[in-house]
Amino acid sequence: MARNKVGMVYLVGAGPGDPELMTIKSRRLLSEADVVLFDRLLDPKMLDGIRAVKIDVGKNAGRHKLTQDGINQLLIEKAETGAVVVRLKGGDPYLFGRGGEEALALQERGIPFEVVPGVTSSIAAPELAGIPVTHRGVASSVTIVTGHEEPGKEAPLDWNAIAALGGTLVVLMGVSRLEKNVASLIKAGKSRDTPAAMVEKGGWKDQRMISGTLENIASLAQEKKIESPAILVVGDVVRLAEKLGKKRIAILRPAAQQKEAAAEALQYGFSPVMAPAIALSEKPLPIDLAERLGKVECVAFTSANGVRMALSSSDVLNSLKEKKIVAIGPKTMQALKELGLEAEVPEEYSSAGLERLLKGKCNGILFLRSAQGSRFLSDGLKAAGIYVDDIALYETVPSGDSRLDELIEMAKSVDIFAFTSSSTARFLVQRAKTLGLEKELYQAFADGTVAAIGLPTAEELSRLGVRVDVMPEKFTFEAMLAALKEKTG
Protein backbone atom coordinates (compact mmCIF):
# COMPACT_ATOMS: atom_id res chain seq x y z
CA MET A 1 0.00 0.00 0.00
CA ALA A 2 1.38 3.43 -0.95
CA ARG A 3 2.10 5.69 1.92
CA ASN A 4 0.01 8.87 2.21
CA LYS A 5 1.78 12.07 1.31
CA VAL A 6 3.31 13.58 4.44
CA GLY A 7 1.84 16.90 5.50
CA MET A 8 3.53 20.01 6.84
CA VAL A 9 3.93 21.37 10.38
CA TYR A 10 4.30 25.04 11.24
CA LEU A 11 5.62 25.94 14.70
CA VAL A 12 3.99 29.34 15.08
CA GLY A 13 4.54 32.00 17.73
CA ALA A 14 1.28 33.74 18.65
CA GLY A 15 2.83 36.58 20.64
CA PRO A 16 2.13 37.64 24.21
CA GLY A 17 -1.68 37.59 24.27
CA ASP A 18 -3.23 40.35 22.19
CA PRO A 19 -4.54 38.89 18.89
CA GLU A 20 -3.53 42.12 17.14
CA LEU A 21 0.13 41.38 17.98
CA MET A 22 0.09 38.21 15.87
CA THR A 23 2.07 38.33 12.64
CA ILE A 24 0.40 38.44 9.23
CA LYS A 25 2.03 35.12 8.39
CA SER A 26 0.68 33.41 11.50
CA ARG A 27 -2.87 34.51 10.64
CA ARG A 28 -2.51 33.27 7.07
CA LEU A 29 -1.24 29.88 8.21
CA LEU A 30 -4.13 29.51 10.66
CA SER A 31 -6.59 30.16 7.82
CA GLU A 32 -4.91 27.46 5.71
CA ALA A 33 -4.45 24.82 8.43
CA ASP A 34 -6.26 21.49 8.66
CA VAL A 35 -5.34 20.99 12.33
CA VAL A 36 -4.30 23.45 15.04
CA LEU A 37 -2.69 22.36 18.29
CA PHE A 38 -2.84 25.33 20.65
CA ASP A 39 -1.49 26.34 24.04
CA ARG A 40 -3.27 27.37 27.23
CA LEU A 41 -2.06 30.98 27.27
CA LEU A 42 -3.81 32.14 24.13
CA ASP A 43 -6.74 34.47 23.58
CA PRO A 44 -9.65 32.39 22.18
CA LYS A 45 -10.22 35.16 19.60
CA MET A 46 -7.00 34.05 17.88
CA LEU A 47 -8.88 30.96 16.71
CA ASP A 48 -12.10 32.70 15.66
CA GLY A 49 -13.28 31.84 12.16
CA ILE A 50 -10.70 29.18 11.32
CA ARG A 51 -11.90 25.96 9.66
CA ALA A 52 -9.25 23.69 11.17
CA VAL A 53 -9.79 20.99 13.78
CA LYS A 54 -8.70 22.64 17.06
CA ILE A 55 -6.94 20.59 19.76
CA ASP A 56 -6.13 22.08 23.16
CA VAL A 57 -2.76 20.74 24.31
CA GLY A 58 -2.18 23.49 26.87
CA LYS A 59 0.04 22.78 29.83
CA ASN A 60 -0.21 24.42 33.23
CA ALA A 61 2.08 24.08 36.23
CA GLY A 62 1.34 20.63 37.63
CA ARG A 63 -1.67 20.04 35.32
CA HIS A 64 -0.73 18.75 31.88
CA LYS A 65 -3.34 17.96 29.25
CA LEU A 66 -0.57 16.17 27.31
CA THR A 67 3.07 15.54 28.10
CA GLN A 68 5.61 17.13 25.76
CA ASP A 69 6.31 13.69 24.28
CA GLY A 70 2.57 13.32 23.75
CA ILE A 71 2.41 16.62 21.88
CA ASN A 72 5.40 15.65 19.73
CA GLN A 73 3.72 12.35 18.83
CA LEU A 74 0.40 14.05 18.04
CA LEU A 75 2.14 16.48 15.66
CA ILE A 76 3.74 13.53 13.88
CA GLU A 77 0.48 11.55 13.68
CA LYS A 78 -1.49 14.47 12.23
CA ALA A 79 1.23 15.34 9.72
CA GLU A 80 1.50 11.72 8.56
CA THR A 81 -2.15 11.84 7.50
CA GLY A 82 -1.15 14.52 5.00
CA ALA A 83 -2.59 17.40 7.06
CA VAL A 84 -1.27 20.93 7.29
CA VAL A 85 -0.68 21.33 11.02
CA VAL A 86 -0.16 24.56 12.95
CA ARG A 87 1.35 24.28 16.42
CA LEU A 88 0.27 27.62 17.89
CA LYS A 89 2.38 28.61 20.87
CA GLY A 90 2.30 31.66 23.13
CA GLY A 91 5.16 34.10 22.66
CA ASP A 92 7.96 32.73 20.46
CA PRO A 93 8.32 28.99 19.77
CA TYR A 94 12.02 28.84 20.57
CA LEU A 95 12.11 30.97 23.74
CA PHE A 96 11.21 28.62 26.58
CA GLY A 97 8.43 27.37 24.31
CA ARG A 98 9.93 23.89 23.76
CA GLY A 99 9.62 24.49 20.05
CA GLY A 100 13.13 23.14 19.56
CA GLU A 101 12.10 19.79 21.03
CA GLU A 102 9.12 19.62 18.70
CA ALA A 103 11.30 20.54 15.72
CA LEU A 104 13.83 17.78 16.52
CA ALA A 105 11.06 15.20 16.92
CA LEU A 106 9.63 16.16 13.54
CA GLN A 107 13.04 16.12 11.89
CA GLU A 108 13.86 12.66 13.25
CA ARG A 109 10.60 11.35 11.75
CA GLY A 110 11.21 13.09 8.41
CA ILE A 111 8.29 15.51 8.79
CA PRO A 112 8.85 18.86 7.04
CA PHE A 113 8.37 21.87 9.31
CA GLU A 114 8.83 25.62 9.42
CA VAL A 115 9.26 27.92 12.39
CA VAL A 116 7.35 31.21 12.44
CA PRO A 117 8.72 33.65 15.05
CA GLY A 118 6.38 35.38 17.47
CA VAL A 119 6.63 38.46 19.67
CA THR A 120 8.10 37.27 22.95
CA SER A 121 6.47 38.28 26.22
CA SER A 122 9.92 38.70 27.77
CA ILE A 123 10.23 41.98 25.87
CA ALA A 124 6.60 42.79 25.02
CA ALA A 125 5.09 42.50 28.50
CA PRO A 126 7.53 44.94 30.15
CA GLU A 127 7.27 47.22 27.12
CA LEU A 128 3.47 47.35 27.29
CA ALA A 129 3.78 48.21 30.99
CA GLY A 130 6.13 51.10 30.24
CA ILE A 131 9.43 49.29 30.90
CA PRO A 132 12.00 49.19 28.07
CA VAL A 133 14.27 46.23 28.82
CA THR A 134 17.25 48.23 27.52
CA HIS A 135 17.66 51.98 27.74
CA ARG A 136 20.60 54.24 26.96
CA GLY A 137 22.49 55.10 30.13
CA VAL A 138 20.44 52.67 32.23
CA ALA A 139 20.79 49.14 30.81
CA SER A 140 22.67 47.99 27.71
CA SER A 141 21.96 44.27 28.12
CA VAL A 142 19.10 41.97 29.04
CA THR A 143 19.20 38.45 30.47
CA ILE A 144 16.18 36.17 30.06
CA VAL A 145 15.79 33.08 32.23
CA THR A 146 13.00 30.74 33.20
CA GLY A 147 11.85 30.84 36.78
CA HIS A 148 10.28 27.40 36.59
CA GLU A 149 12.94 24.82 35.77
CA GLU A 150 12.25 21.20 35.01
CA PRO A 151 12.78 18.95 38.06
CA GLY A 152 16.09 17.06 38.01
CA LYS A 153 17.66 19.35 35.44
CA GLU A 154 21.39 18.61 35.14
CA ALA A 155 22.49 22.26 35.00
CA PRO A 156 20.24 24.37 37.26
CA LEU A 157 20.36 28.15 37.07
CA ASP A 158 23.49 29.69 38.52
CA TRP A 159 21.95 32.53 40.51
CA ASN A 160 25.41 33.72 41.58
CA ALA A 161 26.37 34.29 37.95
CA ILE A 162 23.00 35.86 37.13
CA ALA A 163 23.19 38.24 40.10
CA ALA A 164 26.65 39.38 39.01
CA LEU A 165 25.42 40.39 35.56
CA GLY A 166 24.56 44.01 34.88
CA GLY A 167 21.62 45.22 32.84
CA THR A 168 18.07 43.94 33.06
CA LEU A 169 16.95 40.52 34.25
CA VAL A 170 13.67 39.05 32.98
CA VAL A 171 12.38 35.91 34.70
CA LEU A 172 9.62 34.06 32.86
CA MET A 173 7.14 31.58 34.35
CA GLY A 174 8.26 32.23 37.90
CA VAL A 175 5.12 33.06 39.88
CA SER A 176 5.07 29.84 41.88
CA ARG A 177 8.78 30.17 42.72
CA LEU A 178 8.93 33.96 42.99
CA GLU A 179 9.87 34.13 46.67
CA LYS A 180 12.56 31.46 46.27
CA ASN A 181 14.01 33.04 43.10
CA VAL A 182 14.17 36.52 44.65
CA ALA A 183 15.79 35.12 47.78
CA SER A 184 18.38 33.39 45.58
CA LEU A 185 19.22 36.67 43.85
CA ILE A 186 19.62 38.52 47.14
CA LYS A 187 21.70 35.70 48.63
CA ALA A 188 23.92 35.85 45.54
CA GLY A 189 24.65 39.52 46.20
CA LYS A 190 21.97 41.44 44.33
CA SER A 191 20.99 44.54 46.32
CA ARG A 192 17.66 44.36 48.12
CA ASP A 193 16.97 47.89 46.84
CA THR A 194 17.17 46.86 43.18
CA PRO A 195 13.93 47.95 41.43
CA ALA A 196 11.67 45.04 40.53
CA ALA A 197 8.28 44.63 38.88
CA MET A 198 5.78 41.90 38.12
CA VAL A 199 3.82 42.17 34.87
CA GLU A 200 0.75 39.95 34.87
CA LYS A 201 -0.98 38.85 31.66
CA GLY A 202 1.17 41.02 29.43
CA GLY A 203 -0.62 41.89 26.20
CA TRP A 204 -4.03 40.82 27.51
CA LYS A 205 -6.92 43.18 28.21
CA ASP A 206 -6.49 42.66 31.94
CA GLN A 207 -2.74 43.24 32.02
CA ARG A 208 -1.50 44.84 35.22
CA MET A 209 1.82 45.66 36.85
CA ILE A 210 3.08 46.04 40.38
CA SER A 211 6.48 47.46 41.22
CA GLY A 212 8.76 47.65 44.22
CA THR A 213 12.20 46.28 45.03
CA LEU A 214 13.73 42.83 45.35
CA GLU A 215 13.13 43.12 49.07
CA ASN A 216 9.35 43.48 48.84
CA ILE A 217 8.24 42.34 45.37
CA ALA A 218 7.32 38.83 46.54
CA SER A 219 5.15 40.12 49.40
CA LEU A 220 3.54 42.70 47.08
CA ALA A 221 2.76 40.00 44.54
CA GLN A 222 1.12 37.91 47.24
CA GLU A 223 -0.83 40.90 48.58
CA LYS A 224 -2.09 41.87 45.11
CA LYS A 225 -2.73 38.22 44.20
CA ILE A 226 -0.56 38.20 41.09
CA GLU A 227 -1.31 35.07 39.07
CA SER A 228 0.31 33.20 36.21
CA PRO A 229 1.16 34.13 33.52
CA ALA A 230 3.38 36.84 34.94
CA ILE A 231 7.01 37.80 34.54
CA LEU A 232 9.53 39.34 36.91
CA VAL A 233 11.62 42.30 35.69
CA VAL A 234 14.65 43.30 37.75
CA GLY A 235 16.81 46.37 37.17
CA ASP A 236 16.87 50.15 37.04
CA VAL A 237 14.74 50.20 33.86
CA VAL A 238 11.73 49.43 36.09
CA ARG A 239 11.78 53.06 37.26
CA LEU A 240 11.05 54.24 33.70
CA ALA A 241 7.50 52.92 34.03
CA GLU A 242 6.74 55.94 36.22
CA LYS A 243 7.09 58.09 33.08
CA LEU A 244 6.37 55.66 30.25
CA GLY A 245 3.61 53.53 31.75
CA LYS A 246 0.02 54.49 31.02
CA LYS A 247 -2.71 54.32 33.64
CA ARG A 248 -5.73 52.33 32.49
CA ILE A 249 -8.94 54.36 32.69
CA ALA A 250 -12.45 52.91 32.47
CA ILE A 251 -14.66 54.93 30.11
CA LEU A 252 -18.28 54.31 31.16
CA ARG A 253 -20.14 56.71 28.86
CA PRO A 254 -22.75 55.53 26.31
CA ALA A 255 -21.47 53.65 23.26
CA ALA A 256 -21.92 56.62 20.93
CA GLN A 257 -19.56 58.71 23.07
CA GLN A 258 -16.90 56.06 23.62
CA LYS A 259 -14.68 56.80 20.62
CA GLU A 260 -14.46 60.53 21.34
CA ALA A 261 -13.89 59.98 25.07
CA ALA A 262 -11.20 57.38 24.42
CA ALA A 263 -9.39 59.76 22.06
CA GLU A 264 -9.41 62.46 24.73
CA ALA A 265 -8.09 60.00 27.32
CA LEU A 266 -5.22 59.07 25.00
CA GLN A 267 -4.33 62.74 24.57
CA TYR A 268 -3.90 63.00 28.34
CA GLY A 269 -1.63 59.96 28.42
CA PHE A 270 -4.12 57.37 29.66
CA SER A 271 -4.92 53.95 28.21
CA PRO A 272 -8.71 53.82 27.73
CA VAL A 273 -10.80 50.76 28.55
CA MET A 274 -14.09 51.24 26.72
CA ALA A 275 -16.98 49.86 28.76
CA PRO A 276 -20.38 51.55 28.29
CA ALA A 277 -22.38 51.32 31.52
CA ILE A 278 -25.44 53.17 30.23
CA ALA A 279 -27.52 53.56 27.10
CA LEU A 280 -29.96 56.33 26.23
CA SER A 281 -33.63 55.57 25.62
CA GLU A 282 -35.29 58.53 23.88
CA LYS A 283 -38.70 59.68 25.09
CA PRO A 284 -41.33 61.35 22.91
CA LEU A 285 -41.59 65.12 23.18
CA PRO A 286 -44.64 66.19 25.21
CA ILE A 287 -47.65 67.40 23.22
CA ASP A 288 -47.78 70.59 25.29
CA LEU A 289 -44.13 71.50 24.61
CA ALA A 290 -44.99 74.68 22.66
CA GLU A 291 -47.24 75.87 25.49
CA ARG A 292 -44.55 75.23 28.10
CA LEU A 293 -41.91 76.98 26.01
CA GLY A 294 -44.19 80.00 25.84
CA LYS A 295 -44.11 80.36 29.65
CA VAL A 296 -40.34 80.88 29.90
CA GLU A 297 -37.70 83.22 28.57
CA CYS A 298 -34.81 80.79 28.97
CA VAL A 299 -34.13 77.19 27.93
CA ALA A 300 -31.31 75.11 29.39
CA PHE A 301 -29.61 72.00 27.99
CA THR A 302 -27.40 69.86 30.19
CA SER A 303 -25.92 67.54 27.53
CA ALA A 304 -25.12 67.33 23.85
CA ASN A 305 -27.34 64.23 23.71
CA GLY A 306 -30.31 66.33 24.85
CA VAL A 307 -29.56 68.94 22.19
CA ARG A 308 -29.57 66.37 19.39
CA MET A 309 -32.80 64.76 20.57
CA ALA A 310 -34.81 67.91 21.23
CA LEU A 311 -33.70 69.76 18.13
CA SER A 312 -34.35 66.91 15.73
CA SER A 313 -37.74 68.65 15.51
CA SER A 314 -37.61 71.75 13.30
CA ASP A 315 -40.57 73.19 15.23
CA VAL A 316 -38.61 73.08 18.48
CA LEU A 317 -35.51 74.46 16.77
CA ASN A 318 -37.42 77.41 15.35
CA SER A 319 -39.17 78.10 18.66
CA LEU A 320 -35.81 78.55 20.39
CA LYS A 321 -34.65 81.35 18.10
CA GLU A 322 -36.25 83.94 20.39
CA LYS A 323 -35.15 82.35 23.66
CA LYS A 324 -32.09 82.84 25.81
CA ILE A 325 -30.31 79.49 25.70
CA VAL A 326 -28.07 78.13 28.43
CA ALA A 327 -25.63 75.27 27.91
CA ILE A 328 -24.18 73.33 30.82
CA GLY A 329 -20.70 72.67 29.46
CA PRO A 330 -18.70 73.45 26.32
CA LYS A 331 -19.68 70.24 24.48
CA THR A 332 -23.36 71.14 24.91
CA MET A 333 -22.64 74.66 23.66
CA GLN A 334 -20.83 73.28 20.61
CA ALA A 335 -23.75 70.97 19.78
CA LEU A 336 -26.10 73.98 19.86
CA LYS A 337 -23.72 76.06 17.76
CA GLU A 338 -23.63 73.36 15.08
CA LEU A 339 -27.41 73.79 14.80
CA GLY A 340 -27.15 77.57 14.48
CA LEU A 341 -28.01 78.48 18.08
CA GLU A 342 -25.86 80.65 20.32
CA ALA A 343 -25.75 79.73 23.99
CA GLU A 344 -24.19 81.03 27.17
CA VAL A 345 -22.30 78.84 29.61
CA PRO A 346 -22.29 79.68 33.33
CA GLU A 347 -18.83 80.06 34.87
CA GLU A 348 -19.90 77.67 37.61
CA TYR A 349 -22.12 74.64 36.96
CA SER A 350 -24.30 75.20 40.01
CA SER A 351 -27.60 76.84 40.87
CA ALA A 352 -25.64 79.86 42.13
CA GLY A 353 -23.74 80.08 38.84
CA LEU A 354 -26.97 79.82 36.86
CA GLU A 355 -28.67 82.40 39.04
CA ARG A 356 -25.87 84.90 38.37
CA LEU A 357 -26.17 84.26 34.64
CA LEU A 358 -29.96 84.58 34.57
CA LYS A 359 -30.42 87.43 37.06
CA GLY A 360 -32.46 90.22 35.49
CA LYS A 361 -32.83 88.29 32.21
CA CYS A 362 -35.19 85.42 32.98
CA ASN A 363 -38.14 84.91 35.27
CA GLY A 364 -38.62 81.35 34.07
CA ILE A 365 -36.43 78.58 32.65
CA LEU A 366 -37.17 75.23 31.01
CA PHE A 367 -34.68 72.35 31.36
CA LEU A 368 -34.52 69.82 28.51
CA ARG A 369 -32.51 66.86 29.82
CA SER A 370 -32.36 63.28 31.09
CA ALA A 371 -35.20 61.85 33.13
CA GLN A 372 -32.63 60.93 35.76
CA GLY A 373 -30.87 64.30 35.63
CA SER A 374 -29.97 65.80 38.98
CA ARG A 375 -32.31 68.48 40.25
CA PHE A 376 -29.67 70.31 42.23
CA LEU A 377 -29.57 73.07 39.57
CA SER A 378 -33.34 73.55 39.32
CA ASP A 379 -33.98 73.29 43.07
CA GLY A 380 -31.55 76.12 43.75
CA LEU A 381 -33.18 78.31 41.11
CA LYS A 382 -36.64 77.67 42.55
CA ALA A 383 -35.36 78.75 45.94
CA ALA A 384 -34.18 81.99 44.30
CA GLY A 385 -37.72 82.68 43.04
CA ILE A 386 -37.25 81.63 39.41
CA TYR A 387 -39.98 79.56 37.73
CA VAL A 388 -38.52 76.20 36.67
CA ASP A 389 -39.96 73.55 34.36
CA ASP A 390 -38.38 70.20 33.44
CA ILE A 391 -38.90 68.02 30.39
CA ALA A 392 -37.31 64.57 30.21
CA LEU A 393 -35.94 63.93 26.73
CA TYR A 394 -34.46 60.52 27.44
CA GLU A 395 -33.88 57.93 30.11
CA THR A 396 -30.58 56.34 31.01
CA VAL A 397 -30.88 52.55 31.09
CA PRO A 398 -28.37 49.72 31.63
CA SER A 399 -26.25 49.30 28.51
CA GLY A 400 -26.32 45.51 28.29
CA ASP A 401 -22.92 45.87 26.61
CA SER A 402 -20.58 42.86 26.88
CA ARG A 403 -17.65 45.24 27.31
CA LEU A 404 -19.01 46.27 30.71
CA ASP A 405 -18.98 42.63 31.83
CA GLU A 406 -15.38 42.33 30.62
CA LEU A 407 -14.45 45.43 32.62
CA ILE A 408 -16.01 44.02 35.79
CA GLU A 409 -14.23 40.70 35.32
CA MET A 410 -10.86 42.45 34.91
CA ALA A 411 -11.53 45.30 37.36
CA LYS A 412 -8.36 44.68 39.38
CA SER A 413 -6.28 45.66 36.33
CA VAL A 414 -7.98 49.08 35.99
CA ASP A 415 -6.22 52.06 37.57
CA ILE A 416 -8.93 54.73 37.19
CA PHE A 417 -12.72 54.66 37.10
CA ALA A 418 -14.14 57.77 35.41
CA PHE A 419 -17.80 58.31 36.34
CA THR A 420 -19.56 60.87 34.14
CA SER A 421 -23.02 60.58 35.69
CA SER A 422 -24.82 59.11 38.66
CA SER A 423 -26.26 56.40 36.45
CA THR A 424 -22.85 55.18 35.26
CA ALA A 425 -21.99 54.49 38.90
CA ARG A 426 -25.35 52.95 39.78
CA PHE A 427 -25.55 50.61 36.79
CA LEU A 428 -21.92 49.50 37.05
CA VAL A 429 -22.43 48.43 40.66
CA GLN A 430 -25.78 46.78 39.83
CA ARG A 431 -24.20 44.75 37.04
CA ALA A 432 -21.33 43.65 39.27
CA LYS A 433 -23.87 42.41 41.82
CA THR A 434 -25.68 40.44 39.10
CA LEU A 435 -22.40 38.81 38.06
CA GLY A 436 -21.48 38.03 41.66
CA LEU A 437 -18.39 40.23 41.43
CA GLU A 438 -19.40 43.15 43.64
CA LYS A 439 -16.66 42.44 46.21
CA GLU A 440 -13.99 42.35 43.49
CA LEU A 441 -15.24 45.61 41.98
CA TYR A 442 -15.19 47.42 45.32
CA GLN A 443 -11.67 46.16 45.93
CA ALA A 444 -10.67 47.64 42.57
CA PHE A 445 -12.24 50.96 43.60
CA ALA A 446 -10.24 50.88 46.83
CA ASP A 447 -6.97 50.04 45.06
CA GLY A 448 -7.46 52.49 42.21
CA THR A 449 -8.51 56.10 41.66
CA VAL A 450 -12.18 57.09 41.41
CA ALA A 451 -13.20 60.27 39.60
CA ALA A 452 -16.64 61.93 39.59
CA ILE A 453 -17.56 64.55 37.00
CA GLY A 454 -19.61 66.64 39.45
CA LEU A 455 -21.45 66.87 42.73
CA PRO A 456 -24.48 64.69 41.88
CA THR A 457 -22.19 61.90 40.66
CA ALA A 458 -19.98 62.23 43.74
CA GLU A 459 -23.04 62.07 45.99
CA GLU A 460 -24.27 58.90 44.25
CA LEU A 461 -20.87 57.26 44.65
CA SER A 462 -20.84 58.20 48.32
CA ARG A 463 -24.31 56.64 48.69
CA LEU A 464 -22.92 53.47 47.09
CA GLY A 465 -20.05 53.44 49.56
CA VAL A 466 -17.36 54.39 47.05
CA ARG A 467 -14.62 56.87 47.94
CA VAL A 468 -14.21 59.73 45.45
CA ASP A 469 -10.61 60.80 44.86
CA VAL A 470 -10.99 63.40 42.10
CA MET A 471 -13.69 65.89 41.15
CA PRO A 472 -12.83 68.72 38.75
CA GLU A 473 -13.79 72.34 39.36
CA LYS A 474 -15.53 72.39 35.97
CA PHE A 475 -17.90 69.50 35.42
CA THR A 476 -16.60 68.35 32.03
CA PHE A 477 -14.92 65.12 30.95
CA GLU A 478 -11.84 66.97 29.75
CA ALA A 479 -11.54 68.84 33.04
CA MET A 480 -11.81 65.51 34.85
CA LEU A 481 -9.00 64.06 32.70
CA ALA A 482 -6.83 67.10 33.47
CA ALA A 483 -7.46 66.71 37.20
CA LEU A 484 -6.65 63.00 37.00
CA LYS A 485 -3.44 63.72 35.12
CA GLU A 486 -2.36 66.14 37.82
CA LYS A 487 -3.15 63.65 40.59
CA THR A 488 -1.72 60.50 39.05
CA GLY A 489 1.24 62.10 37.29
- Tell me the Ramachandran region of residue 475: left when phi exceeds 0, alpha when psi lies from -120 to 50, beta otherwise: beta
Is residue 59 among the annotated active site residues?
yes
Give the bridge partners for 452, in sequence order: 419
Neighbours of 198 (CB within 10 A): 25
Helix (H, G, I), strand (E, B) or coil at 77: helix
Main-chain phi, psi angles of 248, to 5 degrees:
-90, 125
Main-chain phi, psi angles of 252, to 5 degrees:
-105, 5
Q: What is the DSSP letter of 2?
A: P
Which residue among the candidates 34, 54, 59, 382 is catalytic per the annotation?
59
Nearest to residue 470, comparing CAs of 455, 450, 454? 450
Which residue among the candidates 39, 43, 92, 401 is catalytic per the annotation?
39
Q: What is the DSSP letter of 65?
A: S
Which residue among the candidates 22, 173, 198, 410 is catalytic per the annotation?
173
Q: Are strands 230-234 and 208-213 parallel, antiparallel or unpaired?
A: unpaired
* Separation between Cα atoms, residue 209 and residue 217, nearest integer Å: 11
Is residue 401 among the annotated active site residues?
no
Q: 393 with 386: CB under 8 angstroms?
A: no
* Separation between Cα atoms, residue 198 and residue 350, nearest integer Å: 45
* Separation between Cα atoms, residue 399 and residue 421, nearest integer Å: 14
Q: Give catalytic residues, as residue numbers.
A: 39, 59, 173
